[in-house]
Structure 1
Amino acid sequence: MSGGMSGPVRRSASPRRLVAIGVTLIVLLSPFLWLLQMSFKSNDLILQFPPPLIFTPTLQNYASLWQGAFAASFVNSLMSASFSTALALVLGVPAAYALSRWAGRGKHALSFAILVTRMAPPIAFTIPFFLFYRWIGLLDTVTGLVLVYTSFNLPLVIWMMQPFFETVPTSLEEAALVDGASTRVVFLHIVLPMVAPGIAATAILCFLYAWNDFFFALILTRTNARTAPVAVVNFMNYEGWEWGKIAAGGSLVMAPVLIFSLAVRRYLVSGLTAGAVKG
């Protein structure tokens, strides 16, 4: 055999695999695509049976949303989800690093205790949060939502990031310290770049939790800090359900999550799997 054949052989995907992938994509994307096409229809077309597949699209539903109170609710969701995710990462990533390097007794007990705080159902904290916020004046504020989401995302950040830090060899840190680098420089310039996929995956999960939250936003807000999921529900009223606005609002609510996920897609898969492997 010639030496030119020694390289790796790339096999193209079989037709059956391509068909399976195509069917899976259609099944997974069909609800989103159906919602998206509904957002470009009038209510009369949406209620028409059988539903027309060919129609003249309209932007009236989106225009009605942004001319009303939905625009402010969308901004409130974006601010509360972004700030709470950033704050949880700023506080949780160093805490996870410190916990991963802790060699004393009680490390696993503390890790489990942090995780247990995330297991409690949100309804268990509703009345304490409501009464405390009313006392300090944080009801119906974006700041109040940021604090709530951060308190629930912080244990998730610590629990997810700890395995990633444990995969970083301590010999690298020790070598940098011997060369004169400070602990801050070692953490920022050596350790953090190595766990970037884990940070990206954790950030997506934290953002998803805050962005999709409905329960706390419904209880702790009224008008000033109302979020997008709560605003979409308001289109379901006694006079009738405004299906066009509901579809347009649902499409807009999904858009930031899709954009954020696509922006960090090359880190997402490796981030969700790398932390599970040590050594």
Structure 2
Amino acid sequence: MSRRTHSALPVHITLAIGAALVLVPIIWTVAAGFRTQISLLMGDVLFTPIGSNFAEVLWSKTSDFLLNYRNSIIVGIASTLLCVVVATLAAFSLNRMRWPAWTVHLFLAWTMIFHMIPPVALASAWFTMARAVGLENTFTGLILAHATLNLPMAIWLMAVFVRDVPKELEEAAIMDGADTPHILWHVILPLITPGLAATSILTFIFSWNEFAVALTLTMKQTATVPVAIAKFAQDFEIQYTQMAASAALAMVPAILVLLVAQRYIVKGLTQGAVK
């Protein structure tokens, strides 16, 4: 074994352990969706796979999982679009408008503090405000809440990408008679496409997985996938296998998004560091 291979061995072992810590719970959850309740509770290592749990979750007359799936897609896409648009405009303003330095630093510090607050701590306040304006149990209320939750992260990410756009390009556009909307649309946005992709994907995934606020602001008609999964734990029975099957189905959009757009995420998140 060469010296180089020997020195890289601890790194490979660490990466393998990290991959196992991530993949083993996922594999266990997916496998549990193909088991019977008795087999799962008895801890059988070998079992005969069944598909009734997925059929129960998807097609049962008492299940609203497909409705919840649709709700999550609507809320995830709408909140992502709203969040990314606002974050891009805020990033452009912070980096290109003539704000005092202390104002920019104070704003970014506040967004970081807000991002550190657990969503469950804000859920009751948001429910009170949503009920006061008639937005409880509506997509609008949940979309606004999710966009607000993810806005600090989106602003920080987009601020990096906007800051790295050479100002000389904007100055040249101004000399050609371009106004601010034209500069933003035709100069800034094409150059920060990887950042937009990375921010959009992360925002969508965080919205898809959010539970506490969705549980507080929704009811049966507007409940999202995480809320639907939690409903399998009832007072006198916990339907572990159906819960595992629904959790496995809930992973599909996030996995597909990550597989399709992985290169955009890597490029977007490393673009600022490389520059």
CA distance in 1, matches of 2:259, 2:171: 36
Task: Confirm or deny: 8 A CA contact 1:168 1:194 kept in the other structure.
Answer: yes
- The structure-2 alpha-carbon separation of the partners of 1:113 and 1:28, relative to structure 1 and needing over 3 Å to count, comes to closer
- The structure-2 alpha-carbon separation of the partners of 1:26 and 1:107, relative to structure 1 and needing over 3 Å to count, comes to closer
Q: Following TM superposition, by how much is the alpha carbon of 1:147 offset from its aligned partner in structure 2, in angstroms?
A: 1.0
- The structure-2 alpha-carbon separation of the partners of 1:111 and 1:20, relative to structure 1 and needing over 3 Å to count, comes to closer
Which sections of structure 1, spanning at least 5 residues, go unmatched? 1-12
- The structure-2 alpha-carbon separation of the partners of 1:151 and 1:48, relative to structure 1 and needing over 3 Å to count, comes to same
Q: 1:102 aligns with which of 94, 97, 104?
A: 97
1:151 aligned partner: 148
- The structure-2 alpha-carbon separation of the partners of 1:216 and 1:19, relative to structure 1 and needing over 3 Å to count, comes to closer
- Counterpart amino acid of 2:78? F
Residues 92-133 of structure 1: per-residue CA shift (max 9 Å, x gap): 211211211123313322332343333333344333322222
Q: 1:197 aligns with which of 194, 200, 203?
A: 194
- The structure-2 alpha-carbon separation of the partners of 1:173 and 1:79, relative to structure 1 and needing over 3 Å to count, comes to same
Q: Does 1:73 align with 2:55?
A: no
Q: 2:48 aligns with which of 48, 56, 61?
A: 56
- The structure-2 alpha-carbon separation of the partners of 1:147 and 1:171, relative to structure 1 and needing over 3 Å to count, comes to same
- Counterpart amino acid of 2:213? F
1:3 aligned partner: none
CA distance in 2, matches of 1:80, 1:36: 25
Q: Which is helix-richer, 1 or 2?
A: 2
Residues 200-232 of structure 1: per-residue CA shift (max 9 Å, x gap): 222222222211111111112221111111111
CA distance in 1, matches of 2:201, 2:147: 14
CA distance in 2, matches of 1:157, 1:56: 45
State the secondary structure of the residue aligned to 1:240: coil
State the secondary structure of the residue aligned to 1:138: coil
How many percent of aligned residue pairs carry the same amino acid? 34
CA distance in 2, matches of 1:217, 1:24: 30
2:222 aligned partner: 225
State the secondary structure of the residue aligned to 2:53: helix
Q: Does 1:172 align with 2:166?
A: no
State the secondary structure of the residue aligned to 1:185: helix
Q: 1:85 aligns with which of 72, 77, 80?
A: 80
Q: 1:119 aligns with which of 113, 116, 119?
A: 116
- The structure-2 alpha-carbon separation of the partners of 1:49 and 1:124, relative to structure 1 and needing over 3 Å to count, comes to closer
- The structure-2 alpha-carbon separation of the partners of 1:122 and 1:49, relative to structure 1 and needing over 3 Å to count, comes to closer
- The structure-2 alpha-carbon separation of the partners of 1:116 and 1:276, relative to structure 1 and needing over 3 Å to count, comes to farther
**Radius of gyration: which is bigger?**
1
Q: 2:27 aligns with which of 26, 33, 36?
A: 33
Task: Confirm or deny: 8 A CA contact 1:198 1:275 kept in the other structure.
Answer: no
The TM-score with structure 2 as length reference comes to 0.86
- Counterpart amino acid of 2:157? M
Task: Confirm or deny: 8 A CA contact 2:225 2:250 kept in the other structure.
Answer: yes
Task: Confirm or deny: 8 A CA contact 2:124 2:216 kept in the other structure.
Answer: no
CA distance in 1, matches of 2:239, 2:208: 23
Task: Confirm or deny: 8 A CA contact 1:100 1:163 kept in the other structure.
Answer: no
2:203 aligned partner: 206
CA distance in 1, matches of 2:43, 2:220: 37
CA distance in 1, matches of 2:121, 2:44: 45
Which sections of structure 2, spanning at least 5 residues, go unmatched? none
- The structure-2 alpha-carbon separation of the partners of 1:126 and 1:268, relative to structure 1 and needing over 3 Å to count, comes to same
Corresponding residue pairs, total: 265
- The structure-2 alpha-carbon separation of the partners of 1:233 and 1:124, relative to structure 1 and needing over 3 Å to count, comes to closer
Task: Confirm or deny: 8 A CA contact 2:119 2:149 kept in the other structure.
Answer: no
Higher deviation after alignment, 61-70 or 100-109:
100-109
Q: Following TM superposition, by how much is the alpha carbon of 1:19 offset from its aligned partner in structure 2, in angstroms?
A: 6.8
Task: Confirm or deny: 8 A CA contact 1:160 1:202 kept in the other structure.
Answer: yes
Task: Confirm or deny: 8 A CA contact 2:69 2:225 kept in the other structure.
Answer: yes
